Structure 1
Amino acid sequence: MDQTILLHWVEFAVRWLHVITAIAWIGSSFYFIALDLGLRRDPKPASGADGDEWQVHGGGFYHIQKYMVAPAEMPDHLVWFKWESYATWLSGVALLAVVYWLGAELFLIDYNVMDLTTWQAVLISAGSLIVGWVIYDLLCKSPLGQNPTALMLLLFLLLVVMAWGYTQVFSGRAALLHLGAFTATIMTANVAMIIIPNQKIVVRDLKAGRTPDAKYGQIAKLRSTHNNYLTLPVIFLMLSNHYPLAFASEYNWIIASLVFLMGVTIRHFFNTMHAKGDMLWWTWGATAAIFVAIVWLSILPLSRDEPLEEARLSPVSERFAAHAEFGDVANIVLGRCSMCHGAEVYWDGIATAPRGVYLDSDAAIAANARAIYLQSGVTHAMPPGNLSFMEETERAAIRNWYRSVTGGAL
Structure 2
Amino acid sequence: MTGAFLDPYVTDWLNLLLRWLHVIAAMAWIGASFYFVLLDQSLREPKSKDDIRDGVGGELWEVHGGGFYHVKKYKVAPPTLPDHLAWFKWEAYTTWLSGFALMVVLYYFNASAYLIDPSVADLTSWEAVGISIALLVAAWLVYDGLCRLLVERAALLWALILVLTTVAAWGCIQLFQPRAAFLQVGAMLGTIMAGNVFFNIIPAHWELISAKEAGREPDPTPGIVAKQRSVHNNYFTLPVLFTMLSGHFAFVYGATRAWLVLILIMLLGVLARVFFNLRHQGRTIWALPAVGAVAVILLAIAIKPDDSGGSSGGTSVSFSQVAPIVEQRCQPCHADTPTQPGFSSPPAGVVLETPEQIAARADEIKTLVSSKAMPAGNLTNMTDDERALVVAWVNQGASTKG
Shorter-chain TM-score above 0.5: yes
Counterpart-to-counterpart distance in 2, 1:236 and 1:53: 32
Any gaps of 5 or more consecutive residues in structure 1? 322-331, 369-387, 390-410
Corresponding residue of 2:57? 50
Residue 51 of structure 1 aligns to a residue whose secondary structure is strand
Distance 1:108 1:364 in 2: 11
Q: CA deviation at 1:249?
A: 1.3
Q: TM-score, normalised by structure 2?
A: 0.78
| CA distance in structure 2 between the aligned counterparts of 1:151 and 1:199, rounded to whole angstroms | 24
What is the aligned-residue RMSD (CA, Å)?
Answer: 3.0
2:359 is matched with 339
Indicate if the aligned counterparts of 1:106 and 1:367 stay in contact, CA closer than 8 A: no
Select 2:216's aligned residue among 202, 210, 213. 210
Which residue, out of 350, 364, 367, partners 1:352?
367
Distance 2:112 2:56 in 1: 56
More contact order relative to length (CA 8 Å, sep ≥ 6): 2
In structure 2, stretches of 5+ residues that fail to align are 1-5, 313-324, 334-338, 341-351, 383-398
Superposition pairs of residues 186-205 of structure 1, within 5 angstroms: 186-205=192-211
Q: CA deviation at 1:258?
A: 0.7
Please name the residue that 2:35 is paired with. 31
Counterpart position of 1:271: 277
Contact 1:68-1:217 at 8 Å conserved across structures: no
CA distance in 2, matches of 1:190, 1:285: 32
SS at match of 1:12: helix
Cα distance, 1:29 vs structure 2: 0.2
CA contact (8 A) 2:254 2:373 kept: no
Determine if contact 2:305/2:367 at 8 Å carries over to the other structure.
no
CA contact (8 A) 1:49 1:66 kept: yes
1:282 and 2:287 equivalent?
Answer: yes
1:146 alignment counterpart: 152
Mapped to 2, the partners of 1:242 and 1:159 lie a distance apart of 22
For 2:289 and 2:297, locate their aligned partners in 1 and report how far apart those are by CA, in whole Å.
Answer: 12
- Tell me the secondary structure at the aligned position of residue 64 of structure 1: strand
Q: Is residue 2:75 matched to residue 1:60?
A: no
Identify the residue that residue 96 of structure 1 maps to in structure 2: 103
Moved more, 220-229 or 254-263: 254-263
Aligned length: 342
The counterpart of 1:225, out of the listed 221, 225, 231, is 231
What does residue range 7-406 of structure 1 map to in structure 2 within 5 Å? 7-42=11-46, 45-47=49-51, 48-142=55-149, 144-275=150-281, 277-299=282-304, 333=353, 335=355, 337-339=357-359, 345=362, 352-353=367-368, 358=374, 366=380
Contact 1:25 1:85 in 2 (8 A): yes
Distance 1:229 1:306 in 2: 44
Q: Deviations over 1:108-137 (max 9, x none)?
A: 001110001110010011110000000000
Distance 1:301 1:181 in 2: 31
Shift of 1:339: 3.5
Secondary structure of the structure 2 residue equivalent to 1:52: strand
Q: Distance in 2 between matches of 1:303 and 1:252?
A: 21
Compared CA separation, residues 339 and 204, structure 1 to 2 (3 A): same
